[in-house]
A and B are shown apart, each in its own frame.
Chain A
Amino acid sequence: MNAAAFLRRLAGRPWLWAYVAAIAVWLVTILFTGGRGAGEVLTAAFTFATFSVIVGIGQMYVVTLGPGNVDLSIPATITLAGAVATKIMDTQDGMILAGLLVAIACGAAVGIVNYALIWLLRIPPIIATLSSSFLIQSAAIAYGRGIRIKPPPMLADFTTAQLFGMPVLAICIIVLAAVMELVLRRTLYGRWVTAIGQNIRAARLAGIDVGRTRFAAYVMSAVFAGLCGYLLSGFSGGSSLSMGEEYLLTSIALVVIGGSSVAGGNSNVPGLWGAALFLFLVVTMLNTYGFGAGMRYLATGLIIIAVIVAASARRPAR
C-alpha cells in the first residue's frame, strides 16, 4: 500500500480528528513555554484522561445502542462506589481487592437498577438514569456523609505510579481500551450492540437477544463507573461526594468528540483517548495562557465546535 492510500484510509477514520486536535492544542500549549515542560504536560494529560476514558468506554457502549440511550448515572455511581470502597478498605492494604470487588458490585447493582427501570417500567433511558442518579447520590450521602477516608497506601501508590513518565494506570487503561475495541469490532456482543443501535426492530428480527445485550451494556457502563470511582479515590486521596460531578458531561463529550455517532450503531474506542487528551489539554492550554473563566468557557466551546465541524463531511450535494 502506498503512502497516499494509507493517508486516505487514515483520513477516513472518525477518531483521527480528536488526535489531530489534541496534538494541535498540545503544540500551542508548549509554544507558550518554549518547549519547557512538554513531557510533563503529556504525563498529566494521560494521568487525568485515564479516568475519563474508563467511564467513556461504558458510556460509548450505551450510546451505541441507539438514539436516546445514554447513562446519566455515571457521576453518582462514581461517588457511591468510591465512598463504599474506601470505607470497606479503611486504609488497609489487605483489603484492596475486596474494595475493588465492592466497587464493581456497586456498579453492577446500579446497572441492574437502571436497566430494570428502562425495561420493566419502559422509562426512557435519559430519565431513568437521571432519576436513579438522584437515588444513588442520596445513597452515597446516607452511607458516607461526605466523610473522606484515605485509600490504602498501596492503592494510592499504584494509581499514581509512573513508568518512564507514563502513568502505569494509563497503560492499563490503554490495554483495556484495546480489549474493548476488539470486543466492539470482533465479537458477537459488539456486533449485536452495533446492530441494535442501527435498527432495533431489525436486530430483533435478525435473532439478536436485544434485551440481554442492552442489559449488559448498561451494567458495563455502571461497572466501569464503579471502577473509576475506586481508582479515583485511590488517586486523589479518598472519595468525596462531588468527585463524579465532572464526568457527566465529560463522558458524553468523549464519545461524540471521539467520532462515535450519537445516533448509535457506529462507534470506536480509540477516539475516546484522543478526545480525553484533547479535553484535558484544552483546559491546560487556556489555563497556561491565563484566560479568565469567561474567555476559557467561550474558547472551550468554540474549539469543540471547530473540531466537530472540521471532522464532518459536507452533506453530499444533490
Chain B
Amino acid sequence: MPVGAPIIRLEDVRKSFGAVRALQGVDLACHPGECIGLVGHNGAGKSTLMNLLAGVFGAEGRMLIDGIESAGPHTIATAKANGIRCVFQELSLCPNLTVAENARVMHRALSGFGWRGRAGRLIVEQLDQVFPNHGIGPGDIVGDLPIARRQMVEIARAFTVTDAPARLVILDEPTSSLDAHLASQLLAYVRRFVAEGGCVVLISHLLGEILAAADRVIVMKDGRVVAERPAAEFTRTSLVAAMGTVAHEEAGTRDMAAGRRQGAPRIRARARTGGNELVAHRGEIVGLAGLGGQGQSEMLIRIFDAARHRAPGITVEGGSALVAGDRQTDGVFPLWSIAENITITSLKRLRSGILIDRDKTDAMADDWRSRIGIRTPDMHNPILSLSGGNQQKALFARALGSTAETVLMDDPMRGVDIGTKQEVYGMIRAEAERGRTFLWYTTEMDELKHCDHVYVFRDHRIVADLTRGELTEERVLHASFEDVA
C-alpha cells in the first residue's frame, strides 16, 4: 500500500530511560497517503517512538527525512519545518489561553497586526472540518472547556496550516476523551486527510478504531515492532493475539438473569437538575452512559463527596473510592513513587502503631504490581516514569486496594491497553461478586456491556434507565440525543 517515498524513516532506533529500555531497535517508515495504526500494550514504547518523530528528544539510530539524513539533531523545530505534527498523549494546550491564542502558540507565522482574527479563523475553520457542529468559539478559554473539547481543539490545531505544511500528523490516543460520535467524526477526517496525500500515525487502544481507519497496522511489544501488516489482514482477534494477549473477550459475560436487585439500595442520588433517581445496590455494576460531558462526572463527584459529608439528595453507605480518568489533574501525585501513589487511600490499614509501616506498604504495592500488571522494575520508581496506561493502572490499584464498598469510575480505561482491560473487567466482576458496588462512567459501548444496568445522561440529568437485557447501542444513542428521545 505504501505510496511514494517515505516522509520520514527510522532505522534501528533505540532509547533508554535509565534502566528502562523503551525502544530496542525499531524501524519505521511513514509514507504519504497512508494511515498507520500503532498498537501495543501499555508501556510498549509507542509514545516514546512518537516523541522521537516529533523531535521532543533524540535517540540512537538513523533518521531520514525525505530520504536525507539531517545534519544537525532532529529537534521540535526541524520536525515542524518538515511538516511533522503531533497530538501528544497528555494535554499540550495552555489552559489559560483562548482557543485562538493556542493556535498562535503553534504557528510562528501568526504574528503582526490582526493576528488574533487570523488565528481564530484558522482554528475554527479547521474545527469545522474535523468536528462539524463543535460549538467552540475562538475566544473560549481552554481551561473552561470540558476535556473532550480541549482534545478537539488540540487535534484540530495539529492539522492547521500556515507557513509549514502538515504532512505527517501523529495522533497519540486522540480519542481517549472523545465519545463515540466525536471519534467517528475524527476518523472520517483522518481518511479524508490521508486521501489528500497526508500521512497519519494513529495510536489507540480501541482496536475497532484502528481497524476502521488504518491502512497498515504496526504492533509493538516491549520496545520492538512485533508485527506489521496491512490492516485488511488483521481481525480483532488476530490483532489481539499479535499484541501478545490471550483473547478471552466475551469469556465471562455476566449472568443475564441477574436483572435488577432488590433490597435496600447502597446509593441513591438525584441530579441537581432533577430527572430520574440513580439507585445502586450491593454487588451491582451500574453504568453511566451518554455523550461526553453530560453531567456524569459531576454526579460521580457528588456521590464521592456525599460518602464523606452529608449532602442533600444523596445517600451513600459504606465509603467510596474514585478512579479518575483525567489522571493528570485528578489522579496522580507527580512527585511520589508508584508505591506511594497506590497506597495513599489505604494507609490507615498499613500502619503499626501510628507510624506507616514500610514493609506493609511495599507488600501492598508489590501485590498490586503483579495483580494488575504494572510494568516497572521497581515500585519505588516515580509514577511519572510509567507510561500513561500504566499510570492509570496504578490509579485502579489505589481504588480497588482500598476498603471502600463503592468504587466510582470516571471513564477509567482511558489509555489502558486491551489486555489489561480484560483483566480489569475480570477484577471488577470478581469484586462485585464479593459485594462491592461499581458506578462506571464510560463512553464505550463495549464497557457498558459489563454493567448490570445503565443510566443514560443528557443535559445533566438521567433520561433513561436500561437493564442489561435492554441495552443496545441504538437505545443508548437514542436516549443521548434529545431529538430522538
**A residues touching B (Cβ–Cβ < 8 Å)?**
182, 186-188, 191, 194-195, 198-199, 201-203, 205-209, 261, 265-266, 318
* Structural contact, B335 and A207, CB atoms closer than 8 A: no
**B residues touching A (Cβ–Cβ < 8 Å)?**
56-58, 75, 301, 304, 308, 321-322, 324, 329-336, 340, 344-345, 347-348, 351, 354-356, 398, 402, 404
Query: How many angstroms between the C-alpha atoms of A214 and B333 in the bound complex?
Result: 17
Query: How many angstroms between the C-alpha atoms of A198 and B308 in the bound complex?
Result: 22
* Structural contact, B336 and A198, CB atoms closer than 8 A: yes
Query: How many angstroms between the C-alpha atoms of A188 and B340 in the bound complex?
Result: 12
> Given known contacts A201-B330, A205-B330, A318-B56, what 8 new A-B pairs fall within 8 Å (CB)?
A186-B355, A188-B351, A195-B336, A202-B332, A205-B301, A206-B398, A207-B402, A207-B404
- Residue in B301, B332, B340, B354 whose CB lies within 8 Å of A199: B332
The minimal Cβ–Cβ distance linking B414 to chain A, given in whole angstroms, is 15
Residues of B within 8 A of A206 (CB): 322, 344-345, 398
With most chain B CB atoms within 10 A of its CB, the pick from A199, A201, A208, A266 is A199
Residue in B closest to A208 when the chains form the complex, CB atoms: B344
Residues of A within 8 A of B348 (CB): 188
- Residue in A199, A209, A318 whose CB lies within 8 Å of B334: A199
* Structural contact, A266 and B354, CB atoms closer than 8 A: no
* Structural contact, B344 and A195, CB atoms closer than 8 A: yes
Known A-B contacts A198-B333, A207-B321; A188 and B345 likewise in contact (beta carbons under 8 Å): no
With most chain B CB atoms within 10 A of its CB, the pick from A188, A201, A205, A318 is A205
Query: How many angstroms between the C-alpha atoms of A199 and B301 in the bound complex?
Result: 17
The minimal Cβ–Cβ distance linking A210 to chain B, given in whole angstroms, is 11
Known A-B contacts A188-B348, A202-B324, A318-B57; A195 and B333 likewise in contact (beta carbons under 8 Å): yes
Residues of A within 8 A of B57 (CB): 318
Known A-B contacts A201-B329, A318-B58; A209 and B308 likewise in contact (beta carbons under 8 Å): yes
Residues of A within 8 A of B344 (CB): 191, 195, 206, 208
* Structural contact, B333 and A187, CB atoms closer than 8 A: no
The minimal Cβ–Cβ distance linking B35 to chain A, given in whole angstroms, is 29
* Structural contact, A202 and B335, CB atoms closer than 8 A: no
Give 7 A-B contacts (CB < 8 Å), ordered by A residue.
A194-B333, A202-B330, A202-B331, A205-B324, A206-B398, A207-B321, A207-B402
* Structural contact, A187 and B330, CB atoms closer than 8 A: no
Known A-B contacts A206-B345, A206-B398, A207-B345; A186 and B333 likewise in contact (beta carbons under 8 Å): no
* Structural contact, A186 and B356, CB atoms closer than 8 A: yes
Query: How many angstroms between the C-alpha atoms of A25 and B166 in the bound complex?
Result: 58
* Structural contact, A205 and B347, CB atoms closer than 8 A: no
Residues of B within 8 A of A186 (CB): 355-356
* Structural contact, A265 and B329, CB atoms closer than 8 A: no
* Structural contact, A182 and B355, CB atoms closer than 8 A: yes
The minimal Cβ–Cβ distance linking A17 to chain B, given in whole angstroms, is 19
* Structural contact, B355 and A187, CB atoms closer than 8 A: yes
* Structural contact, A266 and B335, CB atoms closer than 8 A: yes
Residue in B closest to A188 when the chains form the complex, CB atoms: B347
With most chain A CB atoms within 10 A of its CB, the pick from B75, B344, B356 is B344
Residues of A within 8 A of B347 (CB): 188, 191
The minimal Cβ–Cβ distance linking A239 to chain B, given in whole angstroms, is 35
Residues of A within 8 A of B336 (CB): 194-195, 198
Residues of A within 8 A of B329 (CB): 199, 201-202
Known A-B contacts A206-B344, A207-B308; A199 and B56 likewise in contact (beta carbons under 8 Å): no
The minimal Cβ–Cβ distance linking B346 to chain A, given in whole angstroms, is 10
The minimal Cβ–Cβ distance linking A68 to chain B, given in whole angstroms, is 16
Q: Which 7 A-B pairs have the closest CB atoms?
A: A198-B333, A186-B355, A186-B356, A318-B57, A205-B322, A265-B335, A207-B345
Query: How many angstroms between the C-alpha atoms of A186 and B336 in the bound complex?
Result: 14
Residues of B within 8 A of A265 (CB): 333, 335
With most chain B CB atoms within 10 A of its CB, the pick from A191, A206, A208, A266 is A206
Query: How many angstroms between the C-alpha atoms of A180 and B354 in the bound complex?
Result: 13
Residues of B within 8 A of A261 (CB): 335
Residues of B within 8 A of A209 (CB): 308
Query: How many angstroms between the C-alpha atoms of A182 and B356 in the bound complex?
Result: 10
Known A-B contacts A188-B347, A195-B344; A202 and B308 likewise in contact (beta carbons under 8 Å): no
Residues of A within 8 A of B404 (CB): 207
Residue in A closest to B398 when the chains form the complex, CB atoms: A206
Query: How many angstroms between the C-alpha atoms of A201 and B327 in the bound complex?
Result: 11
Residues of B within 8 A of A198 (CB): 333-336
Query: How many angstroms between the C-alpha atoms of A116 and B402 in the bound complex?
Result: 32
Residue in B closest to A265 when the chains form the complex, CB atoms: B335
Residues of B within 8 A of A203 (CB): 333
Query: How many angstroms between the C-alpha atoms of A182 and B351 in the bound complex?
Result: 13
Residue in A closest to B305 when the chains form the complex, CB atoms: A204
